[in-house]
Amino acid sequence: MLGVVGTVPDPNFPLVHGPVRLIGGELIIAGRCIAINRGTPALLAAALKTAESRGGPEIYAFLVGDIGKGDGSRKLYQFLARQLPEFSFRVLTFHYLQPDADWHNKVLFAVETMTPRPTLIADAGFMYAAKMSGQSACYDFFTPDVGELAFLADEIAPHPFYTRGFILHQDADVPHLIRRAYQYQNAARYLVVKGQKDYIADEKRVIATVETPSFDAMEAIGGTGDTLTGMLSVLCGGDLTPARAALLAARANRWTGFFARPTPATQVCDLIDTIPQALQKALGGNLQEDDHGGNR
Amino acid sequence: MFGFFRKRKPKGFKNSGRPSADRGILVFENTSDVIQAENVLKKSGWSVRVMGPPPEIQTGCDLVIEFPLIEELNIRRTLASADIQPLSVVPVTAPLLAPVDLFQTKDFGDYLMVRAANMKITIAKEDLKIVNISGGGCPDVPYLAQEMVGKTLAQAPRPRDLGHTLCGYALELAYEELRRIC
């Protein structure tokens, strides 16, 4: 089973957890409907579409309303720190939560007592908290965009908002930023970096890159990182190696653009609708990892 | 408002330089209080800057206000009149991190995108309608997107009024830049 932890942009949405379904273009969890726009609902919708295409797994979500005040996130952190050990997941993905290093550590401590230990994915605010707490190496995947990679590469920045300019300016040299993120132990076991060219890397090397198909407009569309993380969350719980799961997710995410014919005004739900076709197309290609010559 | 961030710096490390014994920082419970306090203080003519907190008080999504320490009493009075209470006031003893102050603009033909730090906002040139908001990882980003996308720059609520986090603050900077160039 895949577990997903995140927030919904509604201050009145209570803390809920349970299996989540995608019905009529809306998410249904614990008898409540959630619109798919972007953020964790978009990640969940992408994961559900992927699971539908791949014949599973079941997806279980922990959600709370938070519009940035952090109150909902703190409730969820508190719940997870107490209750997570009672759950069992093959993959556990943390997403849009108010970054808070202290609460992050409490939740990670709870994760470490789970049996078996799930594959851990951190994206968005929870990835910021993981980096800030110095515990990045405990995670199996981080899924930053290039700007967030620069933040990971900056050993003193507590948030992407404070990434130092001399590092931010190196965003054209992604392998250098990846190397720097690992050098300061601010990267997960695998990095899946979304950008003009996507990079899949571990501590030793860039394992693969993906650059086709390419659509400029995708950069403007809010939620394309959420869809990538949603697909990866499902695919890495299957039979594929972690790197191949990342490669397939990165390719399929690009193919959603091909089928949706995006403009900068396209909404992420239009991309999510095309995930079954995109996965099929991406699976049609060779899933061999590219050889990038050993060390970066 | 936020004039400090408007200045473009094509390169360079952005911190506040050496610590200054005559500067202090106001620490607040959350970023929304910082944004509100900055509004009040700048409207009252105080020379203050929004900065990153020193490592010992960082919790994850923080801003502080740097101010002339000698004016502490007057500044506290100004804030109190607006019913804003800082959690604490601390002298600056080490260089503070400065927010990213670079803007990147991308022209898509019919659409224009501005990026500030990790946040991007895209509008249709024809009617200045906000068509997408992307980037960021704090929970107010999906909320801001929900409230702003589909509205024109003039109609949409401002990120500074609805946002609560550094991502919200970065979006305000991108929004301001769009307003400046459109």
B69 with B115, same domain: the answer is no
Per CB-CB distance under 8 Å, the chain A contacts of B138 are 68, 96, 98-99, 124-125, 128
Q: How many CB pairs under 8 A join A and B?
A: 198
| pLDDT at position B61 | 59
Q: pLDDT tens, A76-89?
A: 999 999 999 999 99
B20 with B69, same domain: the answer is yes
Q: pLDDT tens, A102-144?
A: 999 999 999 999 999 999 999 999 999 999 999 999 999 999 9
The answer to the question of residue A165 being in a domain is yes
Structure tokens, A254 = 């690009």
Helix axes A275-284, A224-235, angle to 10 degrees: 60
Of all helices (H) and strands (E), which one includes residue A127? helix A124-132
The answer to the question of residue A293 being in a domain is no
Residues 75-94 (B) with a CB less than 8 A from some CB of A: none
The answer to the question of residue A295 being in a domain is no
Say if CB A66 and CB A72 are below 8 A apart: yes
Say if CB A236 and CB A245 are below 8 A apart: yes
pLDDT band at A296 (very low <50, low <70, confident <90, very high): very low
The answer to the question of residue B96 being in a domain is no
Smallest Cβ–Cβ distance between B113 and the set A99, A166, A220 belongs to: A220
B47 with B11, same domain: the answer is yes
What percentage of chain A carries pLDDT values higher than 70?
A: 95
| pLDDT at position A289 | 55
- Host domain of residue B28: 3-91
Inform me whether the C-beta atom of residue A68 falls under 8 Å from chain B C-beta atoms: yes
Number of domains making up chain B: 2
Last residue in a domain, options B66, B91, B116: B91
Q: pLDDT tens, A64-74?
A: 999 998 999 99
B76 with B114, same domain: the answer is no
Does a cis peptide bond (omega within 30 degrees of 0) precede residue A116?
A: yes
| pLDDT at position A290 | 54
Cβ pair A159:B55 closer than 8 A:
no
Three-state SS letters, B66-133: EEEHHHHHHHHHHHHHCCCCCCEEEECCCCCECCCCCEEEEECCCEEEEEECCEEEEEECCCCEEEEE
CA distance A291 to chain B (A): 30
Specify the CATH number for the domain of residue B152. 3.30.390
Specify the CATH number for the domain of residue B12. 3.30.70
Cβ pair A68:B143 closer than 8 A:
yes
Q: pLDDT tens, A197-241?
A: 999 999 999 999 999 999 999 999 999 999 999 999 999 999 899
- CA distance linking residue B92 with residue B180, whole number of Å: 33
Distances (CA, A) of B83 to B33, B63, B78, B86, B164: 10, 19, 9, 10, 18
The answer to the question of residue B152 being in a domain is yes
| pLDDT at position B7 | 29
Last residue in a domain, options B91, B111, B146: B91
Q: Which residue of B has its CA nearest to A265?
A: B131
Task: Say what the pTM is.
Answer: 0.88
Other C-beta atoms lying within 10 Å of the C-beta of residue B139: 35
Helix axes A146-153, A124-132, angle to 10 degrees: 10
Per CB-CB distance under 8 Å, the chain A contacts of B162 are 67
The answer to the question of residue B39 being in a domain is yes
Say if CB B102 and CB A164 are below 8 A apart: no
Last residue in a domain, options B91, B112, B141: B91
CA distance A166 to chain B (A): 6
Cβ pair A157:B97 closer than 8 A:
yes
The answer to the question of residue A177 being in a domain is yes
Other C-beta atoms lying within 10 Å of the C-beta of residue B88: 11
Smallest Cβ–Cβ distance between A132 and the set B60, B136, B149 belongs to: B60
Q: pLDDT tens, A237-261?
A: 998 999 999 999 999 999 999 999 9
B87 with B36, same domain: the answer is yes
The answer to the question of residue A81 being in a domain is yes
Number of domains making up chain A: 1
| pLDDT at position A168 | 74
B7 with B73, same domain: the answer is yes
Q: What is the phi-psi region of residue B136: left when phi exceeds 0, alpha when psi lies from -120 to 50, beta otherwise?
A: left
Percent helix / strand / coil, chain A, rounded to 5: 45, 20, 35
Half-sphere exposure of B7 (CA within 13 A, CB side): 8
Is the pLDDT reported for residue A51 higher than 60? yes
The answer to the question of residue A280 being in a domain is yes
Cβ pair A9:B122 closer than 8 A:
no
ipTM, two decimals: 0.91
Specify the CATH number for the domain of residue A48. 3.40.1190.20
Inform me whether the C-beta atom of residue A257 falls under 8 Å from chain B C-beta atoms: no
The answer to the question of residue A142 being in a domain is yes
Residues 135-194 (A) with a CB less than 8 A from some CB of B: 145, 147-148, 151, 156-166, 168-169
The answer to the question of residue A292 being in a domain is no
Inform me whether the C-beta atom of residue B146 falls under 8 Å from chain A C-beta atoms: yes
How deeply is A120 buried, as exposed, middle or buried, from its count of CB atoms within 10 A (0-12, 13-18, 19+)?
Answer: buried
Per CB-CB distance under 8 Å, the chain B contacts of A158 are 52, 55, 58, 60, 62, 97
The answer to the question of residue B97 being in a domain is no
Cβ pair B139:A70 closer than 8 A:
yes
B8 with B84, same domain: the answer is yes
Inform me whether the C-beta atom of residue B131 falls under 8 Å from chain A C-beta atoms: yes
- Host domain of residue A179: 2-284
Calculate mean pLDDT across residues B126-151: 95
The answer to the question of residue B98 being in a domain is no
B83 with B125, same domain: the answer is no
Inform me whether the C-beta atom of residue B54 falls under 8 Å from chain A C-beta atoms: no
Calculate mean pLDDT across residues A147-167: 87
B118 with B158, same domain: the answer is yes
Say if CB A99 and CB B60 are below 8 A apart: yes
The answer to the question of residue B165 being in a domain is yes
What percentage of chain A carries pLDDT values higher than 90?
A: 85
B12 with B58, same domain: the answer is yes
Per CB-CB distance under 8 Å, the chain A contacts of B134 are 38, 219-224
